[in-house]
A = this chain, B = another copy of it.
Amino acid sequence: MRFFSDNAAAACPAAMRALEEANRLATAYDGDEWSARLDEAFSSLFETEVTALWVSTGTAANCLALAAICPPTGAVVCHRDAHIENDEAGAPGFFTHGAKLMLVDGAGAKVTPSALGAACDRIRPDVHQVPPAALSITNATEYGLSYRAAEVAALGAEGKRRGLRVHMDGARFGNAIAFTGERVADVTWRAGVDALSFGFVKNGAMNAEALILFDPALGDTVRRQRKRAGHLLSKGRYLAAQLLAMLENDVWLDNARAANAAAAALAEAAGHERLVYPVEANELFVRMTADEAASIREQGFDFYDWAPGEVRLVTSWDQDMAAVDRLAAAIRSL
């Protein structure tokens, strides 16, 4: 039973139906009627006018956004454990043409305004050092913590004070929103976010992520760079269709809630002592000896070792709740 990655989950029924439907539409690139509807659909969700672009991967969404808000001569402040630093093969350096990542620490992979301020204060204003130009935060974080709108707003204010643009890597944005119950507008543009990588793939899409630009002035550059990076699919209508289908009837939110519920059930089973971080999305980091992990694996559960004495469990939108119950029981009986 699969608890190693939400990337391994199936595409959800709404997404698959959308593909069938898109197969009856004949047009190319992003000139189709569905791509054209993305701006409107996401603007409605975000309660403001946004530019919404489909891309195939979270790395592309993140790095197109970073390239739009950070010049090659600048730096992006991010957490030391951020996905853009650790898991994107140097893509930020590629897309930004060599801009730097400026790493900060913070509990649970969260960036705080004081950490942001301290990082910026270390940089002399002369031309010998690389000035911070942007901030990138991940929500939910790499350790499954969800930012509250007030936290993002504090970061946004500190960033603005220092002239930084703000990007949010929302590979698990749906899970964060499903957990906090806050409005998507409050945790993004109202809090100072300029661009959001709104993840759908981990949440049940097949190959469609959304890049949301709250500053329409960024649109032209990003559209051109999307093509220049080979990310303008000639049959992009299939991506647009998935996104629209998952926005309709809040499928994205229901999917995220299902994954979170599975995680919450496992968290309860694990108990406070075993959890490295509070569980605020669909990831659990659980203290477990190698023997304990082995015994769980013997019962048919798949998951990653994260660190000595620590494993990572990830739940998905399509998690079989019977399997969750069995895993919960297995953990309880350790």
| Chain A residues close to B by CB (< 8 Å) | 2, 5, 7-11, 16, 19-20, 23-24, 26-29, 55-64, 71-73, 75, 86-91, 93-100, 127-131, 201-202, 206-207, 221, 223-235, 238-239
Contacts and interface: CB of A to CB of B under 8 A. Distances in A.
Q: Which of A59, A89, A226, A239 has the most CB of B within 10 A?
A: A89
A120 to B, nearest CB: 15
Nearest to A56: B56
A134 B232 CA distance: 25
11 contacts: A7-B28, A11-B235, A56-B231, A57-B231, A72-B228, A73-B89, A88-B227, A89-B128, A90-B130, A98-B98, A202-B234
A230 B19 contact: no
A232 B10 contact: no
Contacts of A233: 56-57, 201, 207
A281 to B, nearest CB: 17
Contacts of A23: 10-11, 16, 206
Given A232-B57, A232-B59, A233-B56, A127 B227 contact: yes
The 10 residue pairs across chains A and B that have the minimum distance between CB atoms:
A93-B98, A60-B230, A7-B28, A7-B234, A59-B230, A97-B97, A89-B227, A89-B228, A73-B224, A8-B26
A234 B97 CA distance: 24
A52 B25 CA distance: 30
A12 to B, nearest CB: 9
Nearest to A29: B7
A86 B227 CA distance: 12
Contacts of A29: 7, 128
